[in-house]
């Protein structure tokens, strides 16, 4: 099969490229390298089944050209950081919603019928039902990032129904691990490398999230497309437990062999405006198709920290 992966030089995207290449497919990674890195896909260069296109979804002609002859698009390119939306209030509109529209138009014009999309638990906002199932509503995001993801879901669904396309959409919890580019683990490691005695922790440290490894995420992305065949397929991908931020900080300090690090909490129940203090997704639907995370949330954090310490 011939795949295009937008954001294919990013954290999750490059791991997905590896898995698709491993399965023997032809793969084009389309990436503007704003947060991704060419080195993440460098090991595929020279393989005639792989191509990296340095292109931007905000440039319609380049994505129109890239989607010619493609059978399946995995759309992962976006602003990946919820916090950016506070200072730059157009970033999620542009890099999320408009970029997705540009991609869908390119697909429509070129007759590409299948899309996989990386959505997020942030679409649920502060859900009152925990664990939160895919059917939860009303969905009222509290960040511009979450709003953009929800808008993208709506637009993808409407393209499916208007132009006879098919979609697999995945709402991820916190994905961590090999080639991680951002997020709490990367932040803590960088802070402790700068100062191994003190660390600032955003919020009160009690925010609870579910963490799962990128290889499990990629397995879920691919499995969903093989095991479900509705016009619009929707899955939560997450871990069933959660880990609080202070526990994450403890694991990072242990793995860095640091003792007596003083934690300084910035206070409040959220790490930043738009942060959701408790996220817990139901994964019953993904489990029913045979998917599940390979490690608990805490184990996943430890393994990801070890990997990041080696590779960053």
φ/ψ of 33, rounded to 5, equals 60, 30
305 binds ligand NAD (CB under 6 A): no
Burial, 209: exposed, middle or buried (Cβ in 10 Å; 0-12, 13-18, 19+)?
Answer: buried
Q: Whole-number minimum distance, CB 197 to ligand NAD, in Å?
A: 29
304 binds ligand NAD (CB under 6 A): no
Q: Which of 3, 136, 145, 159 is catalytic?
A: 145
Nearer to ligand NAD, 14 or 253 (CB): 14
DSSP H or E segment with residue 73: strand 72-75
Question: Annotated catalytic, 265?
Answer: no
In a 3-state reduction of DSSP, which class is residue 61? Answer: helix
Contact 169, 234 (CB under 8 A): yes
Q: Whole-number minimum distance, CB 12 to ligand NAD, in Å?
A: 4
- Cα 167 to its chain centre, rounded Å, is 17
Q: Whole-number minimum distance, CB 193 to ligand NAD, in Å?
A: 20
One of 95, 100, 243, 253 touching ligand NAD (CB under 6 A) = 95
42 binds ligand NAD (CB under 6 A): no
Of 217, 220, 94, 109, which Cα lies nearest the Cα of 165? 109
Nearer to ligand NAD, 95 or 207 (CB): 95
Segment near ligand NAD (CB under 6 A), from 52-60, 186-194, 254-262, 277-285? 52-60
What separation in angstroms does the CA of 51 have from each of 56, 123, 233?
Answer: 15, 32, 28
Contact 78, 10 (CB under 8 A): no
174 binds ligand NAD (CB under 6 A): yes
Of 209, 188, 202, which Cα lies nearest the Cα of 298? 209
65 binds ligand NAD (CB under 6 A): no
Nearer to ligand NAD, 222 or 261 (CB): 222
One of 3, 26, 66, 80 touching ligand NAD (CB under 6 A) = 80
Segment near ligand NAD (CB under 6 A), from 1-9, 44-52, 196-204, 269-277? 1-9
Nearer to ligand NAD, 31 or 255 (CB): 31
- Parallel/antiparallel/unpaired status of strands 208-209 and 243-244: antiparallel
Contact 232, 162 (CB under 8 A): no
Contact 173, 235 (CB under 8 A): no
One of 41, 104, 165, 175 touching ligand NAD (CB under 6 A) = 175
17 binds ligand NAD (CB under 6 A): no
72 binds ligand NAD (CB under 6 A): no
- Phi/psi-derived region of residue 271, left when phi > 0, alpha when psi is between -120 and 50, beta in every other case: alpha
Q: Whole-number minimum distance, CB 43 to ligand NAD, in Å?
A: 16
56 binds ligand NAD (CB under 6 A): yes
Q: Residues interacting with ligand NAD, by CB under 6 A?
A: 6-7, 9-13, 31-36, 56-58, 76-78, 80, 95, 99, 118, 120, 172, 174-175, 181
């Amino acid at each position: 099969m011939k795949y295009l992966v937008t954001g294919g030089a990013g954290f999750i995207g490059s791991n997905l490229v590896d898995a698709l290449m491993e399965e023997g497919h032809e793969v084009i990674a389309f990436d503007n390298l704003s947060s991704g890195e060419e080195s993440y896909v460098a090991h595929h260069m020279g393989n005639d089944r792989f191509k990296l296109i340095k292109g931007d979804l905000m440039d319609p002609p380049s994505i129109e050209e890239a989607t010619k002859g493609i059978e399946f698009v995995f759309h992962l390119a976006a602003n990946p950081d919820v916090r950016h939306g506070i200072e730059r209030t157009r970033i999620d509109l542009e890099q999320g919603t408009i970029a997705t529209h540009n991609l869908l138009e390119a697909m429509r014009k070129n007759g590409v019928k299948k899309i996989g999309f990386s959505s997020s638990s942030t679409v649920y906002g502060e859900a009152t039902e925990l664990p939160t199932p895919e059917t939860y509503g009303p969905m009222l995001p509290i960040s511009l990032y979450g709003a953009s993801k929800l808008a993208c879901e709506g637009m993808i669904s409407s393209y499916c129904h208007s132009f006879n396309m098919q979609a697999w959409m995945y709402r991820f919890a916190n994905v961590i691990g090999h080639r991680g580019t951002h997020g709490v683990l990367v932040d803590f490691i960088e802070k402790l490398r700068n100062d191994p005695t003190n660390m600032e922790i955003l919020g009160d440290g009690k925010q609870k999230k579910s963490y799962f490894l990128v290889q499990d995420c990629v397995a879920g992305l691919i499995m969903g497309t093989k095991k479900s065949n509705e016009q619009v397929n929707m899955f939560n991908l997450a871990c069933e437990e959660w880990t609080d931020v202070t526990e994450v900080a403890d694991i990072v300090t242990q793995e860095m062999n640091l003792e007596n690090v003083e934690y300084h909490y910035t206070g409040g129940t959220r790490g930043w405006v738009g942060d959701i203090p408790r996220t817990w997704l139901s994964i019953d639907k993904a489990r029913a198709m045979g998917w599940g995370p390979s490690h608990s949330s805490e184990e996943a954090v430890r393994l990801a920290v070890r990997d990041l310490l080696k590779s960053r």
